[in-house]
Each structure stands twice: as C-alpha cells, then as structure tokens.
Amino acid sequence: MFFMWRSHLAKSLHQHRNQPEARFLQLATIGLDQRPRNRTVVFRGFLENSDRYRDCLKIVTDRRSQKTEQINANPWAEVNWYFTKTRSQFRILGKLILIDHEYPDLELQKARSDAWSSLSEPARVQFAWAHPREPRVSFPEVAPSTPEQPLESFCLLLLEPTEVDRLELRGTPQNRWLHLRDEQGNWTDREVNP
Amino acid sequence: MFFMWRSHLAKSLHQHRNQPEARFLQLATIGLDQRPRNRTVVFRGFLENSDRYRDCLKIVTDRRSQKTEQINANPWAEVNWYFTKTRSQFRILGKLILIDHEYPDLELQKARSDAWSSLSEPARVQFAWAHPREPRVSFPEVAPSTPEQPLESFCLLLLEPTEVDRLELRGTPQNRWLHLRDEQGNWTDREVNP
C-alpha cells in the first residue's frame, strides 16, 4: 500500500511517462562553507523490494563529486520535483545515505550493484572519466565497463524522506499538503494554506 | 555587454521562449534547523536598468513565507536552472537581497513597485491570501489589488550571483565551465571536467 504522497507522485510520473526529463529533479545539500548547493539529478526509482528502505528515492553519484563530502558533513537534503503537465510540486526533505564501494550493509551493497547494472553503457562510462570539476583535460577512449562490477567511483545515493510538502498549482486558490513521517515510519497528512 | 554565462543563459531562454515553465527554477536556501530547503520559483528577469545590480535575478516572494527568516539568518542561495531543449544546467550561487516594504534603498524600493505592477492580477491576489503553510482555511473573495501600491506582504527578492557552474549535457564527454565573479564585479571563465 502506498502512502498518500506516493500515490500522487506515481500519478504525476505516469502522466509524464513519455518525457524523460520529468525524472530530473533538483537536489539541495549544504556545502562545507554553509552555502546551499543545488544540482539536477536523475530519479532512478524507489528501493521497492526493501521493507526498511522502501520509501527511499534512488539517485546515483560519483564519489569524487563535491556532494560526497557535503553529505558526510550534513546528510540532510531537500529534493524539489516539479511536474509541468500536472503542475505539481513535491518538496521531499530527508536524510541521504551514500552507499560507496566500502559500505558495509549487504542489502544496500546489493542495491548498489543492481543500480550499476541498470545503467546504460554511456552512463556507466562517465564514472571512468577524469576528476569532475578539475581543470579540463582531454578524455581518452575508455574501455567498456562491466555491468557486473561497479567502478569504485560509483555510489548509490538514497534519500530517505521524513517530510513531503506537496503543492498543486491547479485551482484558485492552489492546494497544498504537508505529509509527515513519524518515528514508526507512518505518514500523516495535513492540509495547509498554499 | 553581457558576460559569457549571461549570453548562454539568454540563448537558452530564447530557445525556450514558447515554454512558460522554462522560467521556473529551483531556489535552495538553508533552514533555521540547518537543513536545506528547495522550492520552485519564477524568474522575473534581470534588474537590467541598474549599474550596481545588473546581474541580479529577480524573484518575488511573500514576506510570510519561510524563506524570509531563512534569508535573514543566511542570505546565501543556489539556484538550479535546467533547460530541457538545450540540455543546459546553470547553477547560480550568490547572496539574496530581500526587499520588503521597509527596505530603505530608494532604487530598490522602486524596483519592488515595478515588479508588483508587472504581475498579473491573479498573481497579485495571492499576496492577500491567508498565511502560507498554516492549517487550511477557506479563502474569501478578496478585493482587486491596486497595481500602483504593493501589498505589505509582497517582497522583491534579488539573487546577486558570485559563481555560475554551467554544464552542457550535449556531447560526449559533456562540457562544463565555472564562471567566477571577483570583488570588482568582473567575471572569469574556467573550463573544467564535467
């Protein structure tokens, strides 16, 4: 059974199923200098076959990217996901779990391998590129990756939601809900002013 | 004369001129609880006719929204702006300037009035709505607003950029630049690895 916000999100995703960019969302974290950082990432689905982590959004990232050290210092993040057709905004606040090649949990290490195998070859190859954000170098041809063995730079990133702020722009006035997760993992829904 | 990132941004905006949602961007700030906050806002143009503030992005906001106190505590913000057709991402880091009805600078107070007059009537009316994010109440009809006199809840929000991280997804490998503003307001451009 889905919670209320998951049903609405599933509906928006379905209505945008022919627009790959509807799976792009904006992930905000806090830099070591206490300035916000905000980048577009790709939604890779939920960690469906897990009891403990079933509400977690899957994202992938390069261990050499700046967000790694940002997450280690402060795991809190807010995702903003806006859907143009339904005119729905989901703000999903939660803690990030960064699963790198040394992460000890076997279930999550398996999820990391699966996420790697699910990537396209052009997406996998990017994890063999030169160090991100350093002065530009020429990129030599790299050997094809193996779908079975993730490169060390490859990380699975999970966002475990604790609060969802949902705004529906359709209607005058607009409609807005707060969905809050308690300690037991149950969600409550509150209608608020837009 | 435009700086390099402004030219590229102008090009992306031009190529998306028929898509109103291309003017939606994601604004990240830091909450009082040191958790990131991230919402979609509308780009209202640059403060063109100003020497001092000509690179500032214009946004409007309600003084009663949570970002007001967040900005007072920490003015740093990063905007993420992704364009689907050109596949360009602009990450614009800078300080926010919140211009409310008591803001002393006359030039910026004028900019606030102009921003108010430029809004559509349905956009203006929202600033007379009940307090955002409080338990939902029924919304009575409100009297039409006056285009000459901004409501007290109306704020102009300026983002003054100091760093722009531009990623062009087209191409293998992709292309990325850092544009940095110095103390004198001059920009330098650095090509980096994607």
A113-119 contacts, C-beta under 8 A, 24 or more apart = A113/A148, A113/A150, A115/A44, A115/A58, A115/A60, A115/A156, A116/A147, A116/A149, A116/A150, A116/A151, A116/A154, A117/A147, A117/A148, A118/A44, A119/A60
Task: Determine the distance in angstroms separating the CA of B37 from the nearest CA of chain A, rounded to an integer.
Answer: 6
Between residues 158 and 177 of chain A, which touch chain B (CB distance below 8 Å)?
172-173, 176
Q: Is pLDDT at A3 greater than 90 in this prediction?
A: no
The answer to whether the beta carbons of residues A116 and A108 sit under 8 Å apart is no
Q: Which residues of B touch A134 (CB under 8 A)?
A: 192-193
- The CB density around residue A93, as the number of other CB atoms within 10 Å, is 23
- Nearest alpha-carbon partner for B79 in A11, A150, A28: A28
Q: Which residues of B touch A133 (CB under 8 A)?
A: 176, 178, 192-193
Looking up tokens 């006199």 gives: B149
Distance CA A53, CA B126 (A): 38
DSSP A84-120: TTTTEEEEEEEEEEEE-TT---HHHHHHHHHHHHHS-
pLDDT reported for residue B1: 52
Q: Where are the domains of chain A?
A: 4-131+141-192
Percent of chain A at pLDDT exceeding 90: 88
**Superfamily for domain range A4-131+141-192:** Electron Transport, Fmn-binding Protein; Chain A (2.30.110.10)
Distance CA A84, CA A86 (A): 6
- Nearest alpha-carbon partner for A148 in A177, A184, A113, A105: A113
Q: B123 in contact with A at a CB cutoff of 8 Å?
A: no
pLDDT reported for residue A44: 98
Q: Which residues of B touch A77 (CB under 8 A)?
A: 36
Q: Is pLDDT at A2 greater than 70 in this prediction?
A: no
Q: Please, where are the H alpha helices in chain B?
A: 4-15, 66-73, 106-118, 121-125
H or E element at residue A4: helix A4-15
Average pLDDT over residues A53-77: 97
Q: Which residues of A touch B40 (CB under 8 A)?
A: 80, 82, 89
pLDDT reported for residue B2: 65
Q: What value of ipTM does the predicted structure carry?
A: 0.96
Distance CA A8, CA A2 (A): 10
The answer to whether the beta carbons of residues B5 and B190 sit under 8 Å apart is no
Best A12, A16, A21, A26 member to test B by mutation, with max B CBs in 10 Å, is: A26
Average pLDDT over residues B113-133: 96
Percent of chain A at pLDDT exceeding 70: 99
pLDDT reported for residue A141: 82
Task: Determine the distance in angstroms separating the CA of A48 from the nearest CA of chain B, rounded to an integer.
Answer: 25
Q: pTM surpassing 0.80?
A: yes
CATH code, B4-125+147-192: 2.30.110.10
Percent of chain B at pLDDT exceeding 70: 99
Best A12, A35, A91 member to test B by mutation, with max B CBs in 10 Å, is: A35
Average pLDDT over residues B161-170: 97
Query: Would you state the structure tokens that stand for residue B27, as one six-digit string?
Result: 């604004």
Tell me if residue B144 falls in helix, strand or coil. Answer: coil
Query: Would you state the structure tokens that stand for residue A4, as one six-digit string?
Result: 């209320």
Q: Any idea what DSSP says for residue B85?
A: T
pLDDT reported for residue A1: 52
Q: B20 in contact with A at a CB cutoff of 8 Å?
A: no
